[in-house]
Structure 1
Amino acid sequence: MSVTEPNAEHAGPAPTPHVSERGRVWAALRRNKPALAGLFILAVLVVAGALGPLLAPYGINEVDADHLFQGPSRDHPFGTDDAGRDVFSRVLVAARVSLLVGLVSVGIALLVGVTIGLVAGYYRGVVDNVLMRCMDVLFAFPVLLLAVAIVAVLGRGLVTAMVAIGVVYTPIFARVTRASVLSVREQVFVTAAVSTGASDWRIMRRHVLPNIAAPLIVQTSLSLAFAILSEAALSFLGLGIQPPQPSWGRMLYDGRGYVQDAWWMGLFPGLAIFLVVLAFNIVGDALRDVLDPRQLTKDEARRTA
């Protein structure tokens, strides 16, 4: 008996090609022009952080006594400061400091906060109450005040600033994680994993954590912006990055007394902080919209229509 091919007229509609979650997110971001602008600014920040010392036309501590307080020019696009140092070179190299502080401090907050939130949300009861009350104590302090207190205890410097900012933002990640875990904890796939005898750690790592990744990604993007802003505030107060290492916040501090006569000393590092914080917030808002389950439902309905 021969086998014949089915009639194309009765084959039904062609199946909708599968679109991965990563592809869907990237496609949505490409349609969001502000998000693309934010990603471009962040890409420039990464390049400046990685290649800043190589791209800088002058040394960050290269003093030129003949060109003190020189305004923006072809040789010095951002002018020079009170020591004759090139402001453009210092702003460029300081991007590495801001990027490093942002990534490390948020990494600390993410690691500690997510762990606390996972344990509190999964076990609930007494464990939840103890851990979250500890987070509430930290959360009750104003962000900058708590960071200043930590730096006062541990001492000034880059490492201390990263630790202080990481501690400050830990309660935020703990709260976001706990709230997400409570909504996932009772799902069928978690109950099924428990019934198979899987360990609690394996369930949290393999089944719970991947399903709460979306809000954590959004929170990470937003926290990076505020971590960079917090580092700038600490350095402005003289508690963060110490000279001669350039920092946007420290450069603002150095230029505070020359607002009228040498406005460029504070303007350009201030603009750098503004643009980076704005970029992270724009990307964070875009990710929040893209990763929203309601938006996912709309995209699926649009593709199947």
Structure 2
Amino acid sequence: MTGHRDAASTGPDDGTWRRVLTALRHDPLALGGALVLLVLLVVGVAGQWLAPAGINEVDVDRMLQPPSLDHPFGTDELGRDVLSRVLVAARVSLQVGLVSVGIALTVGVTVGLLAGYYRGWADNVLMRGMDVLFAFPVLLLAVAIVAVLGPGLRTAMVAIGVVYTPIFARVTRASVLAVREQDFVRAAISIGTSDLRIMRRHVLPNVAAPLIVQTSLSLAFAILSEAALSFLGLGIQPPDPAWGRMLFDGRGFVTDAWWLGFFPGAAIFLTVLAFNLVGDALRDVLDPRQLTVNEARRSSR
């Protein structure tokens, strides 16, 4: 029984996380991405207190002022401070990313776990449903869901969560199919261990690594999707700020007030890039297939 328990404990452990930290320290791009995400987290939590002015503080006398010492990001068409709105909008993007990916992770992992473990008719029914969702373009399906439920922050989170669920279901199912054939799982089945306990104690820990990688990458695309929905007027509604909505409002001032679109666009760009850089670093350390590729490259040198 001891050997069985040890064999099952192959998920991310302290040694794995030490490798992650080492990889971040030795990869300047990944380290820079991690620092950007740390700043984003601080801004998302404390943005309202860091903002130098009220996000809806209208002053027509200072409308469309370029970046200056008083207003580092300039002012918009209503005289509102763009820096304050960009800082506060970070909380919206972070909230949408975390909640929507959390929904996709929970539902997708559950579906993929059941489909991969039980296979047969359960696999066919569950994964064909995921294939139907996966067949739609991400943004088109999100727009359709928001159109049915009505625009708003909560609807956007649900819509983005739904469209990314099939990705997590596929990743989970593929990993579970491989883990289910391992000796420690067969041993647990042979001694009468319940399916729920096997999935919770032996299967899930062994599929955690690719899910962590997928989560980090999906956060980037969830934030990008939220920006797209807000740009279309289907995400968070005015007067609350959102990066995508700020891009929409600034589209008519591209030549006269470039800062209206530049700074929220730069915030989206840096956030998505940071998540992708950290996700790539995590993949290099946690993804077994990538580890095999890296080892093959090292041995060929």
Same fold (TM over 0.5): yes
Paired residue type of 1:179:
A
Where relative contact order (Cα < 8 A, 6+ residues apart) is larger, the structure is 2
Q: TM-score with structure 1 length normalisation? A: 0.90
Q: CA deviation at 1:25?
A: 1.9
- Give the corresponding residue for 1:109: 104
Q: CA deviation at 1:292?
A: 3.2
Aligned counterparts of 1:182 and 1:173: Cα–Cα separation in 2: 14
- Give the corresponding residue for 1:33: 28
Equivalenced residue count is 283
Aligned counterparts of 1:121 and 1:30: Cα–Cα separation in 2: 36
Write the deviation string for residues 143-191 of structure 1: whole angstroms up to 9, x where unpaired.
0000000000000100000000000000000000000001101001101
RMSD: 1.5
Aligned counterparts of 1:291 and 1:70: Cα–Cα separation in 2: 48
> Do 2:103 and 2:162's aligned partners in 1 also have CA atoms closer than 8 Å?
yes
- Give the corresponding residue for 1:165: 160
Aligned counterparts of 1:19 and 1:97: Cα–Cα separation in 2: 33
Unpaired runs of at least 5, structure 2: 1-12
- Give the corresponding residue for 1:14: none
Write the deviation string for residues 189-247 of structure 1: whole angstroms up to 9, x where unpaired.
10111112111111011100100111101100010000000000000000001011100
Structure-2 change in CA distance of 1:279 and 1:123 (3 Å)? same
Aligned counterparts of 1:295 and 1:236: Cα–Cα separation in 2: 36
> Do 1:105 and 1:227's aligned partners in 2 also have CA atoms closer than 8 Å?
yes
Aligned counterparts of 2:52 and 2:78: Cα–Cα separation in 1: 17
Q: CA deviation at 1:19?
A: 7.0
Instruction: Indicate the SS of the match to 1:245.
Output: coil
> Is 1:246 aligned to residue 238 of structure 2?
no
Q: CA deviation at 1:290?
A: 1.1
- Moved beyond 4 Å, runs of 4+: 294-299
> Do 1:105 and 1:165's aligned partners in 2 also have CA atoms closer than 8 Å?
yes
- Where in structure 2 are the equivalents of 1:1-305 lying within 5 Å? 20-293=15-288
Deviates more, 1:18-27 or 1:243-252: 18-27
Identity of aligned residues (%): 78
Unpaired runs of at least 5, structure 1: 1-17
Aligned counterparts of 1:171 and 1:158: Cα–Cα separation in 2: 22
Q: TM-score with structure 2 length normalisation? A: 0.91
Q: CA deviation at 1:293?
A: 3.1
Look at both structures and tell me which one has the larger radius of gyration over its CA atoms: 1
